[in-house]
Structure 1
Amino acid sequence: MNQIESYWAKFLEETNTPDQNYTYWHFELTEKLANELADLVMQGKKQATASSIYSYESGEEPMPKVGDLSVITNWAGEPQCVIETTSVQIIPFLDVTFEIARLEGEDENLDSWREGHIKYYQQFCKQLNQEFTWDMPVVFEQFKVVYR
């Protein structure tokens, strides 16, 4: 049994949760940011994430839905916590307000949120032979930590 499977089994046992499908993943495309964002989740500051719709259209990841459980890892793949999806909205990038963006716990204003996310989306979209546009649909997923 690998580290993530062991962590999941411990979560199920300690919380009396019935076994079910789950995903596991880390945030971002770099070690530094992946670890920083996992820490923000653990501190309760990061309660949402905004993904490009292209990550789900490619079929590599399932579209999140309310009630989904995920193991959040650091860059090295070490489990940090289990989150439960509480809300999923699909919003054009241009229509993301700071009221929504602040739930990600990363930025002090909408301009810095946009700057960081445009950079991320441009890198991510390039990997999928897509292009970032201001009207690109963003999958905005809110979550809560249910196990540490």
Structure 2
Amino acid sequence: MLVTAVLDGRKTATTGLVADYEHGDEALPEIGERSVVVDSADRPVAVIEITSVRVVPLGEVDVAHAMDEGEGHTTIAQWRADHEEFWHGQEMRSALGDPTFTVDDTTPVTLERFHVIADLRTA
């Protein structure tokens, strides 16, 4: 579903936890970085380029960003509930090495915007 949303232009944004980057000792995304999008069979389907990166407290994410994630959210409450379910899940808590990890309005998140620069399905 998300790959389709990227390819048809409904998904042009994503959100990440700064804590996830820090725990993995990874640099935050940067404007101009490119990534390959893969489908569920791990086949490359597109190349995207980051056009904007902001770090903000979770409480400052706006509905425009939520809608641009292309997952059908029309309110911040919907978006936040879905993201908190994932961020508070066992997989994320294990990845962060913190079985009690939770987010609140002050938790720093990365807001990325991107666009497709190559559709690899036709290449």
TM over 0.5: yes
Corresponding residue for 2:107?
Answer: 136
Matched, 1:146 2:117: yes
Partners of 1:126 and 1:57 in 2: CA distance: 14
TM-score (norm 2): 0.84
Residue 63 of structure 1, CA deviation? 1.6
Would the aligned equivalents of 1:48 and 1:143 in 2 still touch at CA under 8 Å? yes
Partners of 2:26 and 2:41 in 1: CA distance: 20
Decide which of 89, 93, 107 is 1:126's aligned counterpart. Answer: 93
Corresponding residue for 1:70?
Answer: 35
Would the aligned equivalents of 2:14 and 2:113 in 1 still touch at CA under 8 Å? yes
* Within-5 A mapping of 1:92-107: 92-106=57-71, 107=73
Percent of aligned pairs with the same amino acid: 33
Counterpart residue identity of residue 85, structure 2:
K
Give deviations 1:106-147, integer Å, cap 9, x for gaps.
112211111111111112531212412212111111000000
Corresponding residue for 1:115?
Answer: 81
Counterpart residue identity of residue 35, structure 2:
S
Q: Which runs of 4+ in 1 moved over 2 A?
A: 59-62
Residue 74 of structure 1, CA deviation? 2.0
Give deviations 1:5-41, integer Å, cap 9, x for gaps.
xxxxxxxxxxxxxxxxxxxxxxxxxxxxxxx111110
Would the aligned equivalents of 2:14 and 2:112 in 1 still touch at CA under 8 Å? yes
Corresponding residue for 2:52?
Answer: 87
Superposition RMSD in Å: 1.5
- SS of 1:39's partner is helix
Matched, 1:45 2:10: yes
TM-score (norm 1): 0.70
Query: Which 5+ residue runs of structure 2 have no aligned equivalent?
Result: none
